[in-house]
Amino acid sequence: MNIQTVGVLTSGGDAPGINPSIRAVVRTALYHGMNVIGVQEGFDGLIRGEMSPLRARDVGGILQRGGTFLRTARCPEFKTKKGQRQAVRELNESRIDALVVIGGDGSMRGAKVLVEQGVLVVGIPASIDNDIWGTDMSLGVDTALNTLMEAVDKLRDTASSHQRAFLVVTMGRDCGYLALITGVICGAEIIIIPEKEIPLEAIAPEIEAAYARGKTHAIIVMAEGASHSPDEIQRALHEADVGFETRVTILGHIVRGGSPSAFDRLLATRMGVAAVDALIEGKTGVMTGLRGREIVLRDLDEVTSKQREPNLHYLEIGRMLSR
């Protein structure tokens, strides 16, 4: 397909790895003789026509930076017909022949809307939540897991010195992936995720049993999307007098920042190259995905209609190994 100008935008929550993916998109497209236009602040900037050409030097020095130098936004207006029509008009006026959309599952739904309006679009999955169907890992997940691991390791120092239980709450929206994997790699006594909730009354006996087994401290990792509140759990542990005093740490947006890990930089680079290659081959309405060690293309129809479920076997592994 003869594409002269490629646009690139980043949308939804930022994630480590987005910057190296922008760099890869821009430099791959330039290498193949295309022009590149960077759209500021996702679909919001697209609707407002906030865009400018990107040259090779413009994406220098961003490989190691977290966040997104194109900035990002959540844009309710793009969910309306009027906003979508305006976005397509801006693409036409700027003579953008094809668009790379980098973002989470919501952004992939936005990308699909543009495809339905006749725009050539390839998506790149980026979200610490790892809730996007069609890819083993989204950009940012590995870095977020490393941040979580470091945080829980540090909390463990205080937990073991003071014989405490720590309840650590991770981001992840409705998805328990980050909590699940963090729980396993940090040896948590209990992992609480929305996909398989534990009744509130079952938590204190588990921690009490850990104390009885001679544990000097306990770690509970909980996803923010789980239905119990941290306060409820802390109160239940206090009332049951489990042996440990409990402290709560809500890690919040710390988990979303930071320099992308080696894994994320490589994945971002491979996906950025693959997205431009896909457009050159005439593919549209697809998202780059990691399947095993391969980069594959997934249909946006499937990506936006299917649910990615975390592997609940990790719950059993976590339980077995934290005895």
User: Smaller CB distance to ligand F6P: residue 99 or 148?
Assistant: 148
Cα–Cα distance, 11 to 46 (Å, whole number) = 11
Cα–Cα distance, 211 to 244 (Å, whole number) = 8
Token readout for 26 is 């821009």
- Residue 107 binding: pick among ligand ADP, ligand F6P, none (C-beta 5-8 Å cut-off by kind): ligand ADP
- Residue 172 binding: pick among ligand ADP, ligand F6P, none (C-beta 5-8 Å cut-off by kind): ligand F6P
Cα–Cα distance, 58 to 105 (Å, whole number) = 27
User: Smaller CB distance to ligand F6P: residue 97 or 129?
Assistant: 129
Binding mask 12-41 for ligand F6P (x = CB under 6 A): -x----------------------------
- Residue 27 binding: pick among ligand F6P, ligand ADP, none (C-beta 5-8 Å cut-off by kind): none
Minimum CB separation from ligand F6P for residue 247, in Å?
22
Cα–Cα distance, 106 to 187 (Å, whole number) = 32
**Is residue 295 classed exposed, middle or buried when 0-12, 13-18 and 19+ CB atoms within 10 A define those classes?**
middle
CB 6 within 8 A of CB 98: yes
Q: Annotated catalytic residue: which of 44, 97, 129, 264?
A: 129
Between strands 294-299 and 286-291, the pairing is: antiparallel
Q: Which residue is nearest to ligand ADP (CB)?
A: 106
CB 66 within 8 A of CB 14: yes
Q: Which amino acid is at 29?
A: A
User: Smaller CB distance to ligand ADP: residue 127 or 146?
Assistant: 127
Residues forming contacts to ligand ADP in the complex (CB under 6 A) are 11-13, 43, 74-75, 78-79, 103-107, 109-110, 113, 127
Which of 66, 61, 60 shows the shortest CA–CA distance to 27?
Answer: 60
Examine residue 129 and tell whether it contacts ligand F6P (CB under 6 A): yes
Examine residue 127 and tell whether it contacts ligand F6P (CB under 6 A): yes
First to last CA, the chain: 58
* Interface region with ligand F6P, contact rule CB under 6 A, candidates 169-177, 236-244, 258-266, 283-291: 169-177
CB 39 within 8 A of CB 46: yes
- Residue 41 binding: pick among ligand ADP, ligand F6P, none (C-beta 5-8 Å cut-off by kind): none
Active site residue 142: no
Residues within the interface to ligand F6P (CB under 6 A)? 13, 104, 127-129, 171-173, 224, 256
Which active-site residues does the annotation give?
Answer: 129
